Amino acid sequence: MIVRRELPADQAAVRAVIAAAFTRDGTDPIEARLLDELRADSGWLPQFSLVAVDGDEPAGGEIVGHVVCTRGRVVGAAGETPALGLGPIGVRPDRQGQGIGLALMHAVLGAADALDEPLVALLGSPAFYGRFGFRRSTDFEITPPEPDWAEYFQIRPLTAYAPTPGVFRYAAPFEGL
């Protein structure tokens, strides 16, 4: 398996992976629709759209996983600080439990750190994402976009992090969920 940036030709396969990873009742899952909307948004950052490809050839093989971070921001008394919002992340159901999601998380966090992003935010299980250094956003004086998310909204500070109290705001398509 190899992790690389998504190519334009990968879009349909990426959408299929995300749809398969989140489909529960046979309908198009919200995560797949969110991905479509994020691609059309100004917050889309192609350098943070990564795929896991089955095989050793970067351009060959099947796409079995995907992760994306889009432009978010922390809005506080001092103004707006750029940040990243992670999600969706997904692995094809027949390949889950094989370390693909782990590889995608490490790759996207490494890319974000290398490109001097200050922090990554996500909504997810603290027990699962804690292994990647995520902690509750309130530990950093960052309020989740929705108060009901407080228990599951998490922040991963990176090397360029400086304390920036405020409210986290995802790219616009997240606001419509």
**Structural domain of 33:** 2-175
Confidence at residue 59, expressed as pLDDT on a 0 to 100 scale: 65
Tally of domains within the chain: 1
Alpha-carbon distance of 83 to 63, in angstroms, equals: 27
Report the SS3 class of residue 6: coil
Alpha-carbon distance of 139 to 104, in angstroms, equals: 25
Give 58-94 pLDDT, tens digit per residue: 667 899 999 999 999 999 998 999 999 999 999 999 9
Residue 122: phi and psi, rounded to 5, are -155, 165
The residue among 118, 1, 21, 30 whose CA lies nearest residue 69 is 118
Give 112-168 pLDDT, tens digit per residue: 999 999 999 999 999 999 999 999 999 999 999 999 999 999 999 999 999 999 999
Structure-derived torsion over alpha carbons of residues 96, 2, 66, 83, reported in degrees to the nearest 10: 120
The answer to whether the predicted template modeling score (pTM) of the entire model surpasses 0.75 is yes
Report the SS3 class of residue 142: strand
Confidence at residue 24, expressed as pLDDT on a 0 to 100 scale: 86
Confidence at residue 58, expressed as pLDDT on a 0 to 100 scale: 61
Confidence at residue 27, expressed as pLDDT on a 0 to 100 scale: 87
Alpha-carbon distance of 167 to 10, in angstroms, equals: 34
Q: Cis bond leading into 88, ω under 30°? A: yes
What's the CATH number where 108 sits?
3.40.630.30
H/E stretch holding 63 reads: strand 62-76
